[in-house]
Amino acid sequence: MICTTCYDSPLGKLTLAGKNNKLIGLWIEGQKHFFGNFKDKTKKNDDLTIFRKTEKWLDSYFNGENPSIENLDLNPRGTDFRLKVWKILEGIAYGEVVTYGDIAKKISYDMSSQAVGGAVGHNPISIIVPCHRVVGFDGKLTGYAGGLENKVKLLELEGVKIRDLKVIF
């Protein structure tokens, strides 16, 4: 059974999902791919330890701090390829951005940026697994399942300079 709770953030309501006291999802209200392809039954439960840890992490993050994810038990569900991409996302530093092509090159010399984009777009643990830190080859802010407006807010919170939906390097 998947347990869920809600967190009120500056972006609006976030839904957290956990199973076996591990975080398996975090979505911004209205986000594409909301709840992914989970088929499990769900029940609301605000009292999981992982939810308290995640809420503390989110409080710090939205206060402009750079909290570590080391103490969060993350367990996203996906294909081996997606899991590999999401692990790379975890390594993108706060306030930094990388391109889809950068991630593709880390996986394989001939990997497609579009394939990486598909995996990034289906990241089930938004914000904590920082898919918002991935941009187009020219620094342009491209699709974000949580909405480009929220991508801008998250990057600006981290000190990234943006003009006309493009990162200023």
- Could you state, in order of their start, the residue ranges of all structural domains in the chain? 2-62, 80-167
Rg (CA), the chain: 15
pLDDT of 90 strictly over 90: yes
The pLDDT of residue 42: 84
The pLDDT of residue 39: 66
Candidate from 9-13, 42-46, 59-63, 133-137 with smallest mean pLDDT: 42-46
The pLDDT of residue 143: 84
Instruction: List C-alpha distances in Å: 145 to 8, 83, 159.
Output: 18, 17, 21
Averaged over 72-87, what is the pLDDT?
Answer: 96
**Alpha-carbon 37 to chain mean position:** 16
The pLDDT of residue 169: 84
Angle at 165 between CA 148 and CA 125, to 5 degrees: 30
So which residues are the catalytic ones?
131
Q: Which residue has the higher pLDDT, 32 or 37?
A: 32
| pTM score of the predicted model | 0.93
Task: Kindly state the percentage of the chain with pLDDT values over 70.
Answer: 95
The pLDDT of residue 36: 64
Q: Shortest CA distance to 10 belongs to which of 63, 57, 56, 69?
A: 63
pLDDT of 72 strictly over 90: yes
d(CA 150, CA 70): 24
DSSP per-residue letters across 83-127:
HHHHHHHHTSPTT--EEHHHHHHHH-TT--HHHHHHHHHT-SBTT
- Domain 80-167, second-level architecture: Orthogonal Bundle (1.10)
pLDDT of 110 strictly over 90: no
User: For the domain with range 2-62, which CATH number is right: 2.30.30, 1.10.3470, 3.30.160, 3.50.70?
Assistant: 3.30.160
pLDDT of 38 strictly over 70: no
- H-helix or E-strand spanning residue 24: strand 22-28
What is the per-residue pLDDT across 13-36, written as a single tens digit (0 to 9) for each? 999 999 999 999 999 998 876 776
The pLDDT of residue 37: 64
